[in-house]
Amino acid sequence: MIPQRRKNFAKEKKTVFTVKEADTLFNFVFAKMSSMSKTAVKSLLANRQIMVNDNFESKFDFPLKPGDRILVYCTSHKAKFTHSKVKIIHEDDHIIVIDKAPGLLSVATDKKEDLTAYKIIQGYVKKQNFQNQIFTVHRIDRETSGVLVFAKSKEVQELLQRDWQHKSHERIYYAIVEGYVEQDNGTITTWLTEDWKSKKVYSSDIENGGLKAVTHYEVIERNNGYSMLKVQLETGRKNQIRVQMQSIGHPIIGDKKYGSKINPLGRIGLHASVLGFYHPVTGKFARFESPVPKYFKLK
């Protein structure tokens, strides 16, 4: 009996195998589907895309005997994705890396705004398979544009979030700040605390029980009363760059929350340009980049 085409799946292709010797379902499918990772095979089982003798089966250790007929359903293409506020930079079996537009929340807040990067990408993966999910790894501020990564499984999320401060070996931002920063390069080390009522982060030059934050910067250009900075994060605290720029007397343009009084771009002048980390599954260093917006110019 051939099952009817299932709803909520992208176009599928079927692969049929016949078992020749006793094995478990997961081991058999993983050996046969040589191009697939273990996570991808687990996803097939979890999403009921594997049949044993015309019955869907999801148990990893389901026993197979010689003569059993295995039918594997795989999507033959990914759902198309286009959105004005999100661009997919990279996607594999384990992560999705996007380029987020300014003005878009990474994930929902207590106010539960309608549109977030998380909701957009969640909708995309569910077009491929309605049981697919994504998981938040980190966030960038609503007003900040640039690179953001999501995990495709809880396991991968936990691997990435475990000691994220050290695994994110490369985090580069570009910032336009008010005034001319005198030193061509420097390091800002402060301790950050958050006031839950005002939802603002405060910076202290002395250790005060807050979170230690370290930011390295290099002046790329000075012009028209502004400075363009290339910023490398050593730590990744909430609002870190924004509050530390204010602390040295050079708030980011457009950042009214942290002291800016001008807004020539119509947005905050902060862009998350590069994110590099060791891939949680392959172990290889992965580097993802979003170009600095063309309008980030000091005219």
Interior angle at CA 8, CA 2 and CA 13, nearest 5:
45
Match 């790894």 to its residue by tokens: 137
- The single-letter DSSP state of residue 124 is H
Q: Enumerate residues 6+ apart whose C-beta is below 8 A from 245.
A: 175, 177, 251, 252, 255, 258
Structure tokens that stand for 74 in this block: 């795989």
* Secondary structure class of 39 (helix, strand, coil): helix
Catalytic residue among 68, 99, 141, 255: 141
For 15, 134, 219, the CA distances from 214, given in Å and listed in that order, are 52, 30, 17
Tell me whether residue 110 is one of the annotated catalytic residues. no
> For residues 298 and 222, is the Cβ–Cβ distance under 8 A?
yes
Backbone angles phi, psi at 18, to 5 degrees: -120, 130
Instruction: Give the residue among 34, 32, 128 at the shortest CA–CA distance from 75.
Output: 128
Determine contact, residues 178/263, Cβ cutoff 8 Å.
no
Supply the residues annotated as catalytic.
141
